[in-house]
Amino acid sequence: MKKLVLGNWKMYKTFSDIQGFCMEFNALLKKDKLFNKANIVVGIAPTYVGIIPFGSCNKTPTLTMAQNVNAEVNGAYTGEISFNMLKELNVKTVLVGHSEVRSHLNESDSVINKKVLTLLKEGMTPVLCVGETLQEFEANKTIEVLNQQLHSDLANIDLSNVENLVIAYEPIWAIGTGKTATNDIIEKTFVEIKKILKTILGSNIDKVSLLYGGSVNDKNAPEILRVKNVDGVLVGGASLDAKKFYSIIKSVPEYSQAKVK
């Protein structure tokens, strides 16, 4: 299974900002003789208006992703984007259920579930984000919350499509706060996530990639990426900086392994 390093730009970067990032990132990867040998998938999720500019100026193998998508195929949904629109732009990987979308847009598990099922049916990759609040964490309800979210968000999933599914554990109390779950917490939580997924996916669990997100940066990424069961990271603020994001990519164990070959 390939390691994933995915960046989420949230509501950042203008057209000129994107061009500047691409110029720097393109130059970094152009000089890198190991990246194409490494078993790594890299992706960036700009805002909707940044998808075309990023796709145009990006000269690397980095995937262009989307931060969200509407659950419906079409209809009177002003301000929304459908999966068909994304596919025409060659966007096939979409963040679903991010905590900020759940809270700010009041997105329910039933809507998130519909998005996951539709994306998988269309051969696209949903990156399903799950995680608990600080209050829930301090009340020792992490596993209870994750159990509820995963069972609801993956209800009625077609097991023949799960190879395209990615799960990102993002403890809400560690997003944009500078706080990061300790490696011990991450490891223990991922063990529990795998137990929950086993009840939902059965033996297909080995086809699903598990990511950690929550104040991931170029300093803590090397240790996080070595935690058992962590298949990659979902990066927020650090992905806005080309050099920091590139540093995270190089910290993936598969990168150094490629160097030996």
Please name the residues in contact with 127: beta carbons below 8 A apart, sequence gap of 6 or more.
6, 65, 93, 94, 95, 96, 166, 167, 168, 211, 234
Q: For 33, phi and psi rounded to 5 degrees?
A: -90, -10
Angle at 142 between CA 105 and CA 174, to 5 degrees: 60
Residue 104 a catalytic site member: no
- Considering 24, 98, 104, 254, which one is annotated as catalytic? 98
Range list of H helices, the chain: 15-30, 51-57, 83-88, 99-104, 109-121, 134-138, 142-153, 183-201, 221-224, 242-250, 253-260
For the record, the structure tokens of 10 come out as: 């949230």
Q: For residue 2, which amino acid is it?
A: K
Q: 1-26 burial by CB neighbour count: b if 16+ within 10 A, else e?
A: eebbbbbbbbeebeeeebeebbeebb
- Considering 72, 136, 170, 254, which one is annotated as catalytic? 170
Task: Determine if residue 200 is left, alpha or beta; phi over 0 gives left, psi from -120 to 50 gives alpha, anything else beta.
Answer: alpha
Q: What pairs with residue 126 in β-bridges?
A: 94
Residue 98 a catalytic site member: yes
Could you identify the residue written with the tokens 């993956």? 154
Catalytic residues: 98, 170
